[in-house]
Amino acid sequence: MDFQLTFLTKPRSRRYALQINLKANFETAQEIKALGLPVAAAVFNLGGGDRKHFREPFLEIPLSAFQAHWESQVYNPPCTHSTEDRKAAFLFSQALLPLLLDATKKDLPYPPTLIFTGATASVKASVNFASFASSKWGLRALSQSLAKEFGPQGVHVSHVIADGVFDSARGRSYGLEPDKLMDTDEMAEAYWKLHTQSKRAWTWEIDLRPFLVSPGIGYR
């Protein structure tokens, strides 16, 4: 079982991202610590889990699919549903927060940061999205609780509502015009700006969307 971890650095005014596959245990945290480098930022950025049941009438959602959505977003107990996306913010956070807390004692240019990627469903549960939306609400609640607990300890915790379709191979396959797709490079810039915020003006939550998407309504 893997997690996705993203380190952000900006040497010589250039941003780099490095993805590392993590085992679902705390030995991995020690392996990262053994590298001798502080963890400056970690980004939990996963999709919606079970795509087959992503949008479905509530009475037709199998329990295994509902569990899979929650397991891909919030927690990871024993699961009967076969999915490669069983990666949970709960375990991710428990593994990474000790390293981020250690980083608060280092002389870093910016505060250690933990960022969660949400979705429109994080704040708006639409018809036929009971499974996905409830898991995204859970992820948002977890991030808010962690922000209140670990902010005073020096770790900046943020939640990003990605209110739109990403400009990716899958996003383009939906047939939307380019201006209705989210620019992932610009999204990365927004994440970087969250990471570089001063402790005296931290943001917990932002929402990002293409200009043709109206807040809480959808495409114009």
- What is the number of other CB atoms lying within 10 angstroms of the CB of residue 50? 24
Distance CA 216, CA 122 (A): 11
| Predicted confidence (pLDDT) at residue 20 exceeds the cutoff of 80 | no
- DSSP letter for 173, please: T
- Read off the tokens for 195: 């990471």
- What is the pTM assigned to this prediction? 0.79
| Structure confidence by residue, pLDDT tens digits, 45-77 | 876 555 666 688 889 888 888 887 777 677 554
| Structure confidence by residue, pLDDT tens digits, 32-48 | 777 777 888 888 887 65
| Predicted confidence (pLDDT) at residue 110 exceeds the cutoff of 90 | yes
Enclosing domain of residue 211: 2-219
What is the band of 159 on the pLDDT scale with cuts at 50, 70, 90? very high
One-character DSSP codes across 79-105: -SS--TT---HHHHHHHHHHHHHHHTT
Which pLDDT does position 114 carry in this prediction? 94
Task: Label the pairing between strands 2-9 and 16-23.
Answer: antiparallel
93 within 8 A of 76, measured Cβ to Cβ? no
| Predicted confidence (pLDDT) at residue 11 exceeds the cutoff of 60 | no
Total number of residues shown for the chain = 220
What is the band of 135 on the pLDDT scale with cuts at 50, 70, 90? confident
- What is the number of other CB atoms lying within 10 angstroms of the CB of residue 63? 10
Distance CA 163, CA 185 (A): 15
| Predicted confidence (pLDDT) at residue 161 exceeds the cutoff of 70 | yes
| Structure confidence by residue, pLDDT tens digits, 179-194 | 888 888 888 889 999 9
Average pLDDT over residues 147-171: 92
Task: Label the pairing between strands 156-162 and 165-166.
Answer: unpaired
6 within 8 A of 13, measured Cβ to Cβ? no
Domain count, the chain: 1
Q: In CATH, what number is assigned to the domain containing residue 47?
A: 3.40.50.720
